[in-house]
Amino acid sequence: MTQTRPPARLTRRHATLALLGAAAGCGVQTKDKAMAKDDADPATIPDYDKWQLPNEEWKKRLSPEAYAVLRKEATERPGTSALNNEKRGGVFSCAGCGFDLFKSDHKFESGTGWPSFWDFIPGAIGTKTDFKLIVPRTEYHCARCGGHQGHVFKDGPAPTGLRYCNNGVALTFKPA
């Protein structure tokens, strides 16, 4: 005699995880207004159209590590960027297109192993919510080329209370 199992029950937890997974797989993006105070209008960004490149062109222009972070939203290992120790005055720019993102006086030591900032240059970044770790996080990227920079968290210093945790390979530094 063959035994049959009762049908599996879909719990709330399973339903929630399935919905989050589906949303992540479908590329659903939402905005966190507290952190996305200044998503830029492409019409206001210099050379915006010039930097809308196909992936094959990005592969030619970037190192494999920079390509993985900027175009595929990878994360570099903590403590590997020389920019962690950069203390000079200047500007931190996107390593993909050179667009200025952060002023050096907004940088702080977060103890995370990644360059961290408490604010960005107005109009320099865009944000979206990602669900890659199931828990929603706010991802931010260069407003000009769309290159992934890192994630923003609500555990930074005054006056914003935010920590823009950046991949060092996604940045270059221009001394003042």
**Catalytically annotated residues:** 165
What's the rounded Cα separation, in Å, for the pair 120 and 99? 12
What's the rounded Cα separation, in Å, for the pair 75 and 85? 19
Closest of 136, 85, 79 to residue 112, by C-alpha: 79
Helix and strand element counts for the chain (H, E): 3, 9
Token couple for 18: 């399935």
Query: Up-side HSE of residue 130: CA atoms within 13 Å toward CB?
Result: 16
Q: For residue 99, give the 3-state DSSP assignment.
A: coil
